[in-house]
Structure 1
C-alpha cells in the first residue's frame, strides 16, 4: 500500500497508477489529509509549459505519462542490465 498526501488525480497518484500498470501489479493508494503545517506551501498541481521547447523548433509529439512510464519500464527497468 502507498500512502500519499494531497488529492486524487495529482501527479504522484498518476505516476503510481502508471507504474503499477506497467509492471502489471495492483495498486492501492490511501489518501490522507495534507498536514496543516504545510498546507499553504504545498504544490498541488504541476504542469510544464511547452512554449519554449516548441519555440526552439521541437515539433514532435510528447508521450503521455502512461506511455512514457510503460516504455521506461519495458525498455530499461525490465532488462537484465538496466544501464544499457
Structure 2
C-alpha cells in the first residue's frame, strides 16, 4: 500500500502545452481547447503527458520515494545524469 496523497494532481485540468489550469470538466468531455493557448487536447492523452511531466519533475527534484515490502519509505539512490 502506498502513502496517502494529500491532494489530487489535476492532470486533466492543465494544458500540457502551456501549463494553463483550465479547471474541472465533466467526464463526458473527452476533448477540450485550452482557453489560454488554443491547443486542442484529447483528455486522456493530455492527462498522461501531465502525469509524465510531473513524475519527471518530482524525480529531478530528488523527492521520489517508494515503499518497501514492509511499508517503510525508501528513498531511491542518487543516479547521476548521463
Q: State the TM bucket, normalised to the shorter chain.
A: under 0.3
Structure number with higher helix proportion: 1
Q: Which has the higher contact order (CA 8 A, sep 6+)?
A: 1
When the two structures are superposed, what TM-score results if normalisation uses the length of structure 1? 0.26
Structure number with higher strand proportion: 2
When the two structures are superposed, what TM-score results if normalisation uses the length of structure 2? 0.26
